[in-house]
Structure 1
Amino acid sequence: MSDQESKHAVDKTKPVLVTGASGFVGSHTARLLTEQGRKVRVLLRKSSNTRALDGLPVDIHYGDVLDPQSLRDAMGGCATVFYSVVDPRFWLTDTKPLYRNNVDGLVNAMDVALELGVERFIFTSTMGTLGVNPNGPVTEDIPFNWLDKAPPYIRARLEAENVFLKYCAEKKLPGVALCVANTYGPQDYQPTPHGKMVWDMSCGRVKAALDAGAPTVDIRDVAEAAVAAEEKGRLGERYIIANEYISNRDFYTLAAAEGGQPPPKIIPMWVGYIAATVIESILKLLRKKDYLVRKDAVYLSEVFREMDHSKATRDLDWHPRPVAQTVKDAVAWYQANESILDSSGH
């Protein structure tokens, strides 16, 4: 076994740090760790919405991954860092923040982790860094092969993962990367854009979807994978954390049914591309910035296909729950918390 694959037991009496803990992945990771009796610190900005962490026995440290000293203060004495910071704003006209937040912040955190002798660094990456495979399921071994079509958001996330793997290989950062699919499930306080689509379908507010599809994963299973990676993950490796591929037709039919709504109408992809092209052209002529309707978004809605998570099953003993259960639990949670979510402006 190579040095990168060798493992030693993490000292679980020490605290752990969860960055990005106000987000969907980070909050669920913090939640699971506290349920297991771990001492959990979270790094938050002063402006972060902490609703997803309310009631959890966590030690809050305020700071920013772009501020190395705040990272030192939060990370000191920790055994493990669960790094879940991500800037997902693919719609930004000025893409510099995507690189600053997704790449520079990660580099700062890795440098501090090496400086302080952190035992594990679990990095939440994305399925967007994986190569495409027209002949079968995607595995971790397929190199990235669609750079010519990748929008700036994907390029930034790819650069972040590449830097992470380089730190593992060359600087011996004891890290494990998780390539996470689209996340769904309960406690979606933001809510995430794709989670809100499930909620809207279940309420009948949205009645149509593109004829696309994607791998999905339950947010609780992502947290399970992160915690398992701390103990069982092979250092310097990445793991696909994705459940089965499902079409929008089938996925949103499940969501609609949970809310007693009829199945959605399905819009052909060519219609989506034409509409996005026309709208994007008009917005550019009007010199608008940071708009959501764009061809990139349509393309990304269908680029990800079947993914093979057998490596995570083998190494991490990871067994994701059925997607139907995820949708059922997500809709039930949205329904139970609708007044809270509506009052927050969503």
Structure 2
Amino acid sequence: MSEFSVDTQAPVLVAGASGFVGSHTARLLCEQGRRVRVMLRKSSDTSAIADLPVEIVYGDVLDVPSLKAAMQGCQSVFYSVVDPRFWLSDPAPIYRNNVDGLVNAMEVALTLGVSRFIFTSTMGTLGINPDGPVTEDIEFNWLDKAPPYIKARLKAEQEFLRYCREKSLPGVALCVANTYGPHDYQPTPHGKMLWDIAEGRVGFTMGAGAPTVDIRDVAIAAVAAETKGKLGERYIIANEFISNRDFAALAAAEGGHKPPKVIPMWFAYCMVGLIQAIMILLRRKDYIVRTSAVYLSNVFQEMDHSKAGRDLDWQPRPIKQTIKDAAAWYATRPQPEK
């Protein structure tokens, strides 16, 4: 890896700072005394960064001039822009925002001579390993089952790694698992489920499971990747794999409620398949209840984060502590709209 030292006088750009990962990255950078600039849309909810001493630049990753204005003079870029709308019937916006927007940002970064480009990717770009934990070396091997959202995220990461390889983009990718933790203002879908379980509002959960990670540890990994990450490589940022049963039991205990019942996956597929069939008959579009979502809820298994441990000195906290801290923070918030 080429030598790199942080210039605390130079600004850093956090793109997507209104989101969960971006806001926590901006928060950690501010705590470290960095000059933080954030790029937001004018319609963005700024609740997650309202208390931070950041410079706000309004723009859009599909608007190249605004990207140049936001990135001008920045030493590093922390790119956490993502369009998560897996439920869209038309995947074109997902590809535009997740792929074309990233390409625009990388081109601008190369033009302006940015020293580091830290890209928040997803565990969804990793391959499946039936024989053990997933590592970064396992190539994607389930394209036939992947929904459009995953294919778009995969294409984005492939473009990122190609830019690193062929155009010498000084980039590092983070393959992030399901995130939980405090300061989840939106809240995220995973976070809202934790909140609802802790408040006793969930009657059942699927017999699935997934890798998890504390959002604060994601920010720690991103900032560490700036100075310690190997250029052109990706790192698994995932901690413990936990079943929905165990996760729900921990969350429910924080709120003093009984955990929800667990339904088998075959029953979940039947229920969701029926609802999806009705939606199709009614010619509805952009509905969240899809069999692909059920599949994704259980496709990701145990993941090996030892590479991040070695290179980034990354030591994530246990999921039990994350759930406890998240539930405590949610308890201070108004009840979510139904």
TM-score range, shorter chain: over 0.9
Match of 2:209 among 209, 213, 216: 213
Match of 2:224 among 223, 228, 246: 228
The Cα of 1:9 is off from its aligned counterpart by 2.2
Structure 2 counterparts to residues 62-77 of structure 1, below 5 A: 62-77=58-73
The 3-state SS of whatever aligns with 1:124 is: strand
The 3-state SS of whatever aligns with 2:314 is: coil
2:199 paired residue number: 203
The 3-state SS of whatever aligns with 2:27 is: helix
State the distance in 2 between where 1:180 and 1:323 align.
15
> Could you tell me whether the CA contact under 8 Å between 2:40 and 2:57 is conserved in 1?
yes
2:99 paired residue number: 103
The 3-state SS of whatever aligns with 1:146 is: coil
2:4 paired residue number: 8
1:40 paired residue number: 36
The Cα of 1:46 is off from its aligned counterpart by 0.4
Structure 2 counterparts to residues 138-217 of structure 1, below 5 A: 138-217=134-213
Cα deviation digits, residues 223-279 of structure 1 (max 9, x gap): 000000000000000000000100000011100000001122001000011111111
State the distance in 1 between where 2:7 and 2:15 align.
19
1:58 paired residue number: 54
2:25 paired residue number: 29
The TM-score, its normalising length taken from structure 1, stands at: 0.97
The Cα of 1:336 is off from its aligned counterpart by 1.0
Q: Aligned partner of 2:223: which letter?
A: V
The Cα of 1:10 is off from its aligned counterpart by 3.5
The 3-state SS of whatever aligns with 2:331 is: helix
The 3-state SS of whatever aligns with 1:336 is: coil
The Cα of 1:208 is off from its aligned counterpart by 1.1
The TM-score, its normalising length taken from structure 2, stands at: 0.99
Q: Aligned partner of 1:32: which letter?
A: L
1:242 aligns with 2:238: yes
Match of 2:263 among 267, 276, 281: 267
Q: Aligned partner of 1:207: which letter?
A: G
The 3-state SS of whatever aligns with 2:245 is: helix
State the distance in 1 between where 2:189 and 2:260 align.
18
The 3-state SS of whatever aligns with 2:236 is: strand
Q: Aligned partner of 1:20: which letter?
A: G
Q: Structure 1 stretch 260-269 or stretch 153-162: which is displaced more? A: 260-269
> Could you tell me whether the CA contact under 8 Å between 2:8 and 2:33 is conserved in 1?
no
State the distance in 1 between where 2:241 and 2:282 align.
38
User: Which consecutive unaligned segments of at least 5 residues does structure 2 have?
Assistant: none
State the distance in 2 between where 1:194 and 1:285 align.
29
State the distance in 2 between where 1:42 and 1:140 align.
30
State the distance in 2 between where 1:95 and 1:152 align.
6
The Cα of 1:8 is off from its aligned counterpart by 2.5
Structure 2 counterparts to residues 255-294 of structure 1, below 5 A: 255-294=251-290
> Could you tell me whether the CA contact under 8 Å between 1:7 and 1:234 is conserved in 2?
no
Q: Aligned partner of 1:237: which letter?
A: E
1:314 paired residue number: 310
State the distance in 1 between where 2:74 and 2:171 align.
14
The Cα of 1:13 is off from its aligned counterpart by 2.2
Structure 2 counterparts to residues 287-306 of structure 1, below 5 A: 287-306=283-302
The Cα of 1:55 is off from its aligned counterpart by 1.3
State the distance in 1 between where 2:97 and 2:309 align.
31
Q: Aligned partner of 1:103: which letter?
A: V
Match of 1:334 among 324, 330, 337: 330
State the distance in 2 between where 1:13 and 1:234 align.
24
Q: Aligned partner of 1:60: which letter?
A: I
Cα deviation digits, residues 102-150 of structure 1 (max 9, x gap): 0000000000000000000000000000000000000000000000000
1:19 paired residue number: 15
Once the two structures are aligned, what percentage of the paired residues are identical? 73
The number of residue pairs the alignment matches comes to 338
The Cα of 1:85 is off from its aligned counterpart by 0.2
State the distance in 2 between where 1:12 and 1:234 align.
21
User: Which consecutive unaligned segments of at least 5 residues does structure 1 have?
Assistant: none
State the distance in 2 between where 1:192 and 1:269 align.
23
1:136 paired residue number: 132
> Could you tell me whether the CA contact under 8 Å between 1:10 and 1:120 is conserved in 2?
no
Q: Aligned partner of 1:100: which letter?
A: R
Structural RMSD (CA):
0.8
The 3-state SS of whatever aligns with 1:326 is: helix
State the distance in 2 between where 1:60 and 1:8 align.
26
